[in-house]
Structure 1
Amino acid sequence: MKFAYKFNNLLGTVYRKGNLIFSADGNSVISPVGNRLTIFDLKNNKSNTLAIQSSYNITALDLSPNGCLIVASNENGETYMISTLSQTVIHTYKFHREPKCIRFSPNGKLFAICIEECVYIFKTPGIITGQFNSFVIERIFKDTHGEKIHVDWSYDSRFLVVGSRDNTTRIYSVKLLENFKSVVLSGHSDSVVTCAFEDNSLNIIIVSRNGHLTKWECSMKSEEMYELEYVRDEEPTNKRQKETDSDEEEDNLSEEEENAEKIQEDDSERDKQGKVIPETAEKPRFYYKKLVRHYLMDELKKENRNVKLTSACYHKKLKLLVTAYSIGAFYLHELPDVSMIHSLNISDYAIDTVTFNSTGDWIALGVSGAGQLLVWEWQSEQYIMKQQGHNNVMSSLTYSSDGNFLITGSYDGKVKVWNVTNGFCILTFSEHTSGVTSVAFSRNKKFFVSASLDGTVRAFDMLRYRNFRTLTAPRLVQFSCVAIDYSGEFVAAGAQDVFDIHLWSMKHGKLMEVLSGHEAPVMTIDFSPNPTSSALVSGAWDHEIKIWNCLETSSEHETINMMSDVVCVAFKPNGEEVAVATLNANISVLNIKSSQQLYSIECKKDISLGISENDIVSAKKNFESAYFSSIVYSSDGECILAGGNNKYVCIYHVKEGLLLKKFEITQNLSLDGMLEFINRRNMTEFGNIALIEERDKLEGGNIKIKLPGTQKNDIASRNFRPEVGVSSLKFSPNGQQWSAATTEGLLIYSLDKGIVFDPFQMSIEVTPKAARELIHEQEYSSALIMALKLNEVNLIQEIIEQIPHTQIDLVLDAIPETFVRRIADFIAKILNSHHIEFYLKWTCSLLTKFGQKNELIDSQILINLHQNLIRKYESLNQICEFNKYTIRVIKKMSKVKIDEECNDDEMLLINNNNSEEMVSDINEDTSEE
């Protein structure tokens, strides 16, 4: 088994907090999801999460105009410069406080960052500026009044407008001007939410939190602003000391002469235009005049007096203003008339951010309270994208039998179906009225079941997308786990309050049996994956696991004492062994037939449990409570993947009992339980300062501590840091990836598809040159064997595609059986080629000759082959459906054209015949004469 698993994608979370930005072409949305960034490609319907991690949640970001750089900052003030081409962090800059807004200039040479009372102007590294160092400061604007929360650039990148929390707005010039000082605009009764320059103008639009829209007109036109002269930077004192007085006088004379020449040239130009201005005339003053004020929330305040304007965005070219409010509604207005174009209520929570794309057709909205991300096309009034993650911690996950879909259940009572290929949620089922504790997928790919604390087990149809069956117990119980047998005919669920296991018939929907015997809550059950076995293994907190032969004799079972509480069981893919994870951080492997312990893995030293900010015990004492709550076998059965209430996922070799690799699922210090030691600065004479109740100043007084005793599903209206942990783990059926349901979301790790030199039965004479020479000599089997020994994908593809399709059976007959699995594995992965029929012939020949031998072509290869075939079929089906009517039109037009050509030919024949008859008549007349 290979262990080169790397982070691939993040599902289950589409938006956490911060602002949204569109790509330069306007076809993609970049969203901050915790301490990561996810790019949603709206044109190709795909999502991709960058492998870059911040140490805290990302709150502000912006993209350069050319789309090559992203500047993102987190809650702790760490600011990252990220290259979108290589998807790596170029440089990190640490501020003392959290940045509130980041904005690039239109020409891309500068970017501004608002931090408390300061606005920092940095040079953008690149060829445009000639500066290749990151975060080089150009200017700093500072005043002691209010915190700066929004910034915008003028169209020529010369001026800044900055909105503050003290209800004022200030205009700054990037370069020092002779007759210009910073301008302060006031008059709002609440903090400024957004402020923006108009297109090709210095007029300003300001929107405050209480819904007041104000437009300010600049006294000077944009052309007149260029007449203001820049103040020359003062030269260093050491250079001045070196210069003599005579040099200074010569320089002053030259400057005066240059100014005089400029004045004369300007006067001559004005004289030509007929406008004579005396030299003593004053230059135009720079000031702003309030044109108009509008109140956008009058109608909303009639319904709800506590409504607030939370976000706004102004599109300069189309002159459109979108405003979002705390009641989950957004309005679209057209300026300068402020006529409302559209209004829509999308959520029960406040909309945190809103933005336009470059063309102004799409509006992106983020709702952190519900974890929603929406892209709305206002002209057609349709959703381009509508995604929502789970509101609470994920409790379980499972793969479909072909590996194309992921099913997740959460304590918010929802079950979601995720497409692994594009990363989008395609279905959401909300029939459960309480938290979902477990989900399981049937092997026939037609349905899956979910168990919930509301006392029901529901079955959902994947063909018609509906809840077609609801299974209940004779009395109200809380189900904690669920499993489906190999045939898909029976469903079993364990209860955590009555200590029983309920068994239903999936076909009839009737309760068949209630299996009793446990004396504590049943936490885990699993059916044997062997089609010839009907074994059911259950584990509970009574230190016992029970092996039930429930389909033959339901009352008989075998009990095995595990010396500690059982938290999870997992069957080996062949169904002969079962792994048991207990509360003392041990993993035991048992034989299912003899009930004997085969292997034991001690995991206590591999678990690195973090310290919560509310903990009052020591790290050593807290370490004793560490354990793995979820385990799963790899697809080949050689390794076990384990995770629990910590930030690590471990891979163990079963037979050797060794730790092979350790994955750190997150580096986000915004989560609780990440630190390994208590911060002594928080320890006072009164105890841990984190246990003291605190309230936010500006957000309504939310309490920052959670309910006592709750760890996962705290549904109270309190603000607390979620605790890091892994609730469920699953391997993909094809073995190419595994997934983890964590506090951050659904993390997917897959094998690195890069070029890795991994030869097989290597020798000196095996080279790519020798393989190509053999293929030219038409020795196809020898060339293919040599390519398989080198194990380079490009070379294998080159050799196989040069073999004639008539020689496939002969080549397979001459290939040793040790290479058959490598050929099958290669063909199963290379089906994205455009030689579809050619590789299908290879597949048919392989399955015909070696399909009965499981040791040559195992189920993992067949699942991968079937998965790729389905994807290819779906893509071709979409292309055919899209072009079907076009082909019909072309065929009809070709028939019409053929008919017209036939008609033209007939007319020519008729005309020729008529002309021949006329000539013959004339000849006859002349002969008679």
Structure 2
Amino acid sequence: MRTNFQFSNLCGTVYRQGNLLFTPDGNSLLSPVGNRVSLYDLVKNTSETFPFENKRNIARMALSPAADLLVTVDEDGRALLVNYRRRIVLHHFNFHTKINDLQFSPDGRYLAVTHEKIIEIWHAPGFNREFAPFVLYRKYTGHYDTVTTIAWSPDSQYFLTTSSDMTCRVYSLHTLEDYGAVTLSGHRDVLVSAFFSADATNIYTVSRDGSVFVWHCPGGPGPKKDSQEDEDEADEGMGITTAASSLPTAVYTDTEGKALVGRKQKQWYILHRHYFSQPNAKVVCAAFHPESNLLLAGFTTGIFGIWELPHFTNIHTLSISQHGIDTVTINQSGEWLALGSSKLGQLLVWEWQSESYVLKQQGHYHDMACLAYSPDGQYLATGGEDGKVKVWVVATSFCLVTFSEHTAGVTALEFTKQGQVLVSASLDGTVRAHDLTRYRNFRTLMSPQPVQFGSLAVDASGDLVCAGSRDTFEIYVWSMQTGKVLDVLAGHEGPISCLAFSPSMDPLMLVSGSWDRTVRTWDVFGRGKKVERLEHTAEVLALAIRPDGKELAASTLKGDIILWDIAEAKETGLLDGRKDIAGGRKLEDRVTAENSTSGKAFNSIAYSADGKCILGGGNSKYVCLYSIHAKILLRKWTVSSNLSYDGALEMLDSRRMTEAGPMELLDVDAAEDEGELKDRLDQGLPGVRKGDLSLRRVRPEIRTRCVRFSPTGRSWAGAATEGLVIYTLDDTVQFDPFELDLDLTPESTREASAQGEHLRAVVMAVRLGEEALLRQCYEATPPDDVALVVRPMPTRYLNRVLIFVAAETEKTPHIEFHLKWIEAILGYHGEWVRQNTATLKPSLRAVRKAIANQHEHLGKVCNENTYAIQYLASLARRQAVTEDTMEESTEQKPQSLADMF
């Protein structure tokens, strides 16, 4: 068996903290997930997690305008320089302090970084590996409090900074004669953001109390030229400066904060003052799109709104939750808005013109407790302590459906053999069966008296469901068809921790493990019920049955994995994993990770698909893979190296210890980060592991609650504190063309099209993956033969054809021809489209968008033509009336003077 599993993806968590970034093309979104970065392709409807990790949770990110360099900075100021296209770390750098904001200049030549009261401008690093790619260009001071944000002008010559001292300053990148930094003051609360307009003549400043000031300067920032002196004097004579005299307009200082007197500088004055007027709400974040003058603001109440500047016209105001929005951003075209909420772990992408969601994903509010693979390996189900059951698509890493019927934490999940039903057990005393075809909870199984279920098992036929209780130490057996209790199996003297059915149906055997240090086998349909009792030296935490049903593995609290022959009921081997899974020390520990082995055991184990290896995970950052035949450790993976979690440290650093405890536990920055008193109060109970884990005051413990192998054996997944981690043997890079052979060439494809074999030509072009060739074969198809070509087309090619047709609908003017293709595909293959809706979502969304754009365009053309036709018709009528009038007047007019006599 191959053991070189590599990190593939991270599901179950879509956003934690930090800022969101759209790629320059506007089709993808970068989101920080703990100490990793996830990329969401909004067109293809897929997600990808980059393989590199920061030391701690990522606080800020910046992407170069060319989308080639990515800089990520964690909470301690450690930065990674990443080649974005290759996903390779080029350089490590440490700013040695907390970074508040960093932005690439629009020309990509400089990187601006803010920390404390200082602004630093660095030369943008290159692509190659360099000894010191970060070179400091200039340092700016002048603010009296922490600098919060920075924004560049469109020409990259000036930048804005906002600060907690309630002022905004305008700096020049290079030293200019007769120019000093400009201070814009007048706000009464901390400034959240400031932006330049597209022509840099306006500056928009947004403060936390909900006020928006529009500052104007004729010609934009810079030294005042002699030709502009008369214009400025005329403006002052018109009273422009006097109109803004109620608030200070601008103070000019140099880069060191010294006042400048007698400078010839352009005057910034307040043009408008606007207010959001959101009661009991503070502005948390804001974003601005210069081309369309759209301002996006997020509030502490979960409301976000869009306003058009400078007139402050409200376009939309919507609420997404009851919790605050932490970050917002707008893509390059201004169509999509991205919003992130760390309280809920929620990520939204909203298309404001059509008022529809492009992306709406949310992870579990608390830790994941369990997971299960579907029989075909295409879906992953996770259950969390928030009582929700989520089903994830492995291919796209997106959540397909969420079931929220449970009122307490979900403890176990199982798919039926057909994969159409998902069964979940919970601490609320119910076992629920979910239909994955209609996405509903169709069966609820309950015990005669209220109990808490901690384990679950479903037989191969899907008709028997068993659940073990934690308080009464009994196993309940239900019928899926009737929902009635068939039997109650008693005998254990401690909480039942795990259940499993034997894969073989003859006889049908149920295996249970308990804290009473025993593993029992039960004949569900037999008279005696209890078949065998397997004694252990410690509490049994987890068990797994080999796929052939002949061997049983049980994990104990001592850190051992004991192997049993089920038929003979005797021990066949022992895997000592206590030292293997041990690693990582907590902040309160006074010993190193090597000497800290308390509580280190495998809470979950799983057999590989071939039954030759066994995988185990527990209260540690390690997941171990053992060879059953050789009884040795094959591989050990580190699920996460995030030092923001408890249990990730290896060595004891006495320098970080104080009289009040470890320095990491002292919340010294709470008063600075949180402005409201209610946000600074910590109302959590000491020592709890559950609660609001999105706040970093509560340090979650790094652990793996559940591990499972994929039925295909090509990957395994673990429900860790970081999220749902997936390791796979498959290479993530895929060759786009498929099903190639020697006879498949562009020449043969064109020849088939010329001979009138349009179906064969289109299929060959799709297989080659050349867009130009596909367009040639596509347009060569006669319109009357479209239905004849689409009907016998294999379904495996329809998705690519649909994506191509959607793209062509927006590019070329052959609207009727494109609509015939779309109608034929959806008409003749409608059942296939309905069954594969999850996979075809990007294609269908592209088709819908293309048709909607064409409909809107045609609507505008028709409206314009309607008015033009009405105008021409009125002109024709007027001309006809004029001609008739002239003819009448001509008939009545005498021919000559002689006719009058």
Q: TM-score range by the shorter chain?
A: 0.7 to 0.9
Q: What residue number does 1:886 align with? A: 820
Instruction: Give 2:514's match in structure 1, choosing from 531, 540, 545.
Output: 540
Q: What residue number does 1:198 align with? A: 197
Asked if the contact 1:417–1:425 (Cα under 8 Å) also holds between the matched residues in 2, the reply is yes
Q: What residue number does 1:157 align with? A: 156
Mapped partners of 2:488, 2:21: distance in 1: 55
Q: What residue number does 2:707 align with? A: 729
Q: Residues 282-335 of structure 1: CA distance to partner in whole angstroms, max 9, x if unpaired?
A: 995333111121111x2x22xx3xx21100111111011111100000011111
- 1:214-253 matches, within 5 Å, as 214-221=213-220
Asked if the contact 1:318–1:360 (Cα under 8 Å) also holds between the matched residues in 2, the reply is yes
Asked if the contact 2:477–2:486 (Cα under 8 Å) also holds between the matched residues in 1, the reply is yes
Match of 1:569, as an amino acid? L
Q: Residues 718-741 of structure 1: CA distance to partner in whole angstroms, max 9, x if unpaired?
A: 941111000000111111111010
Q: Residues 86-145 of structure 1: CA distance to partner in whole angstroms, max 9, x if unpaired?
A: 111111210121111111111111121111111111112349x99996211111112361
Q: What residue number does 2:420 align with? A: 446
- 1:890 deviation in Å? 8.9
Match of 2:820, as an amino acid? T
Mapped partners of 1:623, 1:676: distance in 2: 12
Mapped partners of 2:160, 2:457: distance in 1: 60
**Greater shift in the superposed pair: 523-532 or 35-44:** 523-532
- The answer on 1:121 being equivalent to 2:116 is no
Report SS of the residue matched to 1:605.
helix
**Greater shift in the superposed pair: 102-111 or 320-329:** 102-111
Instruction: Give 2:442's match in structure 1, choosing from 459, 468, 471.
Output: 468
Q: What residue number does 1:905 align with? A: none
Mapped partners of 1:171, 1:691: distance in 2: 38
Mapped partners of 1:212, 1:173: distance in 2: 26
Report SS of the residue matched to 1:623.
coil
Mapped partners of 1:721, 1:487: distance in 2: 43
Mapped partners of 2:733, 2:172: distance in 1: 52
- State the Cα RMSD in Å: 3.3
- 1:624 deviation in Å? 3.2
Q: What residue number does 2:571 align with? A: 597
Q: 1:140 to 1:717 in 2, by over 3 A?
A: closer
Report SS of the residue matched to 2:605.
strand
- 1:591-670 matches, within 5 Å, as 591-615=565-589, 622-670=596-644
Contiguous gaps of at least 5 residues in structure 1: 229-281, 757-791, 803-830, 837-869, 892-929
Q: Residues 264-299 of structure 1: CA distance to partner in whole angstroms, max 9, x if unpaired?
A: xxxxxxxxxxxxxxxxxx995333111121111x2x
Q: What residue number does 2:874 align with? A: none
Asked if the contact 2:163–2:190 (Cα under 8 Å) also holds between the matched residues in 1, the reply is yes
- The answer on 1:294 being equivalent to 2:292 is no
Asked if the contact 1:180–1:286 (Cα under 8 Å) also holds between the matched residues in 2, the reply is no
Q: What residue number does 1:741 align with? A: 719
- 1:475 deviation in Å? 0.5
- 1:216 deviation in Å? 1.0
Q: What residue number does 2:291 align with? A: 317
- 1:480 deviation in Å? 0.5
**Greater shift in the superposed pair: 367-376 or 709-718:** 709-718
Asked if the contact 1:440–1:448 (Cα under 8 Å) also holds between the matched residues in 2, the reply is yes
Q: 1:554 to 1:466 in 2, by over 3 A?
A: farther
- The answer on 1:81 being equivalent to 2:55 is no
Mapped partners of 1:553, 1:416: distance in 2: 39
Q: Residues 136-170 of structure 1: CA distance to partner in whole angstroms, max 9, x if unpaired?
A: 11111123611111111111110111001111111
Using the aligned pairs only, state the percent identity.
40
Q: Residues 405-460 of structure 1: CA distance to partner in whole angstroms, max 9, x if unpaired?
A: 00000001100000000110010010000111111111111101001000000000
Mapped partners of 1:602, 1:168: distance in 2: 63
Mapped partners of 2:169, 2:608: distance in 1: 60
- 1:3 deviation in Å? 1.1
Report SS of the residue matched to 1:408.
strand
Mapped partners of 2:418, 2:617: distance in 1: 28
Q: What residue number does 1:70 align with? A: 70
Mapped partners of 1:145, 1:600: distance in 2: 65
Q: Residues 52-80 of structure 1: CA distance to partner in whole angstroms, max 9, x if unpaired?
A: 11111111112111111111111010112
- 1:752 deviation in Å? 4.2
Mapped partners of 2:466, 2:824: distance in 1: 57
Report SS of the residue matched to 1:723.
coil
Report SS of the residue matched to 1:532.
coil
Q: 1:287 to 1:611 in 2, by over 3 A?
A: same
Mapped partners of 1:69, 1:718: distance in 2: 28
Q: What residue number does 1:93 align with? A: 93
- 1:795 deviation in Å? 14
Mapped partners of 1:686, 1:79: distance in 2: 30
Which structure has the bigger radius of gyration?
Answer: 1
- The answer on 1:478 being equivalent to 2:458 is no
Mapped partners of 1:193, 1:693: distance in 2: 23
Asked if the contact 1:20–1:32 (Cα under 8 Å) also holds between the matched residues in 2, the reply is yes
Report SS of the residue matched to 2:655.
helix
Q: 1:569 to 1:875 in 2, by over 3 A?
A: farther
- 1:754 deviation in Å? 8.4
Asked if the contact 1:544–1:561 (Cα under 8 Å) also holds between the matched residues in 2, the reply is yes
Q: 1:319 to 1:881 in 2, by over 3 A?
A: closer
Q: What residue number does 1:818 align with? A: none
- 1:693 deviation in Å? 8.1
Report SS of the residue matched to 2:358.
strand
Report SS of the residue matched to 2:820.
helix
Asked if the contact 1:515–1:554 (Cα under 8 Å) also holds between the matched residues in 2, the reply is no
- 1:663 deviation in Å? 0.5
Q: 1:460 to 1:288 in 2, by over 3 A?
A: same
Q: What residue number does 1:761 align with? A: none
- 1:616 deviation in Å? 5.8
Report SS of the residue matched to 1:370.
coil
Q: What residue number does 1:904 align with? A: none
Instruction: Give 1:753's match in structure 2, choosing from 731, 735, 752.
Output: 731
Q: 1:408 to 1:220 in 2, by over 3 A?
A: same
- 1:697-716 matches, within 5 Å, as 697-698=671-672, 699=674, 700=677, 702=680, 707-712=685-690
Asked if the contact 2:740–2:768 (Cα under 8 Å) also holds between the matched residues in 1, the reply is no
Q: What residue number does 1:329 align with? A: 303
Mapped partners of 2:521, 2:129: distance in 1: 72
Report SS of the residue matched to 1:886.
helix
Mapped partners of 1:207, 1:888: distance in 2: 47
Q: What residue number does 1:103 align with? A: 103
Match of 1:536, as an amino acid? L
Q: 1:879 to 1:178 in 2, by over 3 A?
A: closer
- The answer on 1:574 being equivalent to 2:548 is yes
Mapped partners of 1:328, 1:177: distance in 2: 44
Report SS of the residue matched to 1:681.
helix
Q: 1:290 to 1:795 in 2, by over 3 A?
A: closer
**Greater shift in the superposed pair: 576-585 or 88-97:** 88-97
Mapped partners of 1:327, 1:536: distance in 2: 51
Q: Residues 2-52 of structure 1: CA distance to partner in whole angstroms, max 9, x if unpaired?
A: 112101111000000001010010011100000011110001101011101
Asked if the contact 1:705–1:720 (Cα under 8 Å) also holds between the matched residues in 2, the reply is no
Asked if the contact 2:123–2:136 (Cα under 8 Å) also holds between the matched residues in 1, the reply is yes
Report SS of the residue matched to 2:508.
coil
Report SS of the residue matched to 2:86.
coil
Q: 1:545 to 1:801 in 2, by over 3 A?
A: farther
Mapped partners of 1:104, 1:693: distance in 2: 31
Match of 1:117, as an amino acid? K
Mapped partners of 2:592, 2:108: distance in 1: 51
Q: 1:627 to 1:832 in 2, by over 3 A?
A: farther
- The answer on 1:187 being equivalent to 2:186 is yes
Q: 1:119 to 1:104 in 2, by over 3 A?
A: same
Q: Residues 877-913 of structure 1: CA distance to partner in whole angstroms, max 9, x if unpaired?
A: 977998996249799xxxxxxxxxxxxxxxxxxxxxx
Match of 2:90, as an amino acid? I
Match of 1:447, as an amino acid? V
* Length, aligned pairs only: 735
Mapped partners of 2:556, 2:50: distance in 1: 35
Asked if the contact 2:178–2:223 (Cα under 8 Å) also holds between the matched residues in 1, the reply is no
Q: What residue number does 1:36 align with? A: 36
Match of 2:518, as an amino acid? E
